[in-house]
Amino acid sequence: MGILDWFKNRPGQFDPDRVSDEMVRGAVDKAITLTNPRLKLLPNCPKRLTPAVKTTIEYLRTLVQALPAARPLSSAMWSSDPALKAFFVASSDISSVLGRSDNLRTLFDKFPELDEACLVLGMALNEKRVLGMALQGGMVQRDVAQTSVSFSDHGTRICGSDEARLRRIVGVEAFEYLLGQALSEIGRERVERQELQGSRALMRARLRLLQQQGPGLGSMFGGAPAAASEQARLQAELLENERQLEAIGGSESVLDAELESLKTVLENPQRYLHVDTKRLRLSPMNVVIDAASTDAAADVDFGLAELRGSPPMRRAFVLARVARSELPPPKKINFDDATRYL
């Protein structure tokens, strides 16, 4: 199977409920193909890699199963849902975020019968120490040190037709993220091998292209994928990159070192990816309130993903259910305004 084939039918590659021999074999093949197809030249390469792949699969199964259930995401619920009020400044912001999601729009267009879809809402979590007022002992105290929380940079790039499918996609893209970290470490090791300049350049190019190929490889909750025309160019470059990697020479010791780097990452997925559930008791102004306080507040739950690889990233997120009716119509070009700039 070629490198681009692994980006198709992602949900079929991971099942958080059961592990089959077929899934393990597929994951091993994917790890080799996406990292360096020439690893297949090593004796017993799949057998040597299988235990590490199983370790990562079990880690990702536990991670995906622990994710909280998907919650409704609706502009109409903003005023009555403390979590949505914490995540979004105004109800109109929900519609704006959904309207920017090309993946969600494509999903609904592809399945006209679908009334609801599921997605990962990723957000930047901003915590700031401020001085404010608080009620202490029946008296209003000024200049009290408080923690103010805000959420920004909302993104809805990982979508699925239902929650089970969404969880499968999250597992696959987490696996791809770990493979990207293995590629990064292999590239750093090759810097020390001056005799492999050409091969090193190919590996760097491969990493760059893979990071842009899909929404999950570079970062589960990071930047949007490239536009359609850019995707086509990247696919052509990936195919050429794969051809060159298969043709280039290299000693068995170099390939063996690369396999060991890949094994080390997959044997220790917790070093690169950690997901936890976070609960904050927030006031209507998004100030963190102590559990013993009698001030008006509500508990807000969300996931917190720490991507500890290169580059490191920390993102808040929730799984959400969105009705088709919540997606605003696509924006149309105002040609009268556009002609003013010609």
Of 153, 156, 54, 56, which Cα lies nearest the Cα of 101? 156
The pLDDT score that the predictor gives to residue 230 is: 61
* Average confidence (pLDDT) over 109-138: 84
Average model confidence (pLDDT) for the chain?
81
* Average confidence (pLDDT) over 219-225: 50
Q: Is 133 left (phi over 0), alpha (psi -120 to 50) or beta?
A: beta
* Residue of higher predicted confidence among 195 and 119: 119
E strand segments, the chain: 71-72, 116-136, 139-160, 273-282, 298-307, 313-323
Residue 15's pLDDT band (cuts 50, 70, 90): confident
User: Helix or strand or coil: residue 256?
Assistant: helix
User: What pLDDT, in 10s, does the model give residues 56-104?
Assistant: 999 999 999 999 999 999 999 999 999 999 999 999 999 999 999 999 9
User: What pLDDT, in 10s, does the model give residues 16-44?
Assistant: 888 899 999 999 999 998 888 889 989 99
Q: Is the pLDDT of residue 245 over 90?
A: no
Residue 331's pLDDT band (cuts 50, 70, 90): confident
Pairing between β-strand 313-323 and β-strand 71-72 as defined by DSSP bridges: parallel
pTM of the predicted protein model? 0.78
Tokens of 267: 């044997």
Tokens of 171: 């597992």
The pLDDT score that the predictor gives to residue 215 is: 41
Of 115, 118, 123, which Cα lies nearest the Cα of 84? 123
Angstrom distance (rounded) from CA 213 to CA 205: 12
* Tokens 């370790």 found at: 55
The pLDDT score that the predictor gives to residue 225 is: 52
The pLDDT score that the predictor gives to residue 340 is: 45
The pLDDT score that the predictor gives to residue 293 is: 75
Helix (H) or strand (E) run with residue 201 in it:
helix 197-213
The pLDDT score that the predictor gives to residue 18 is: 86
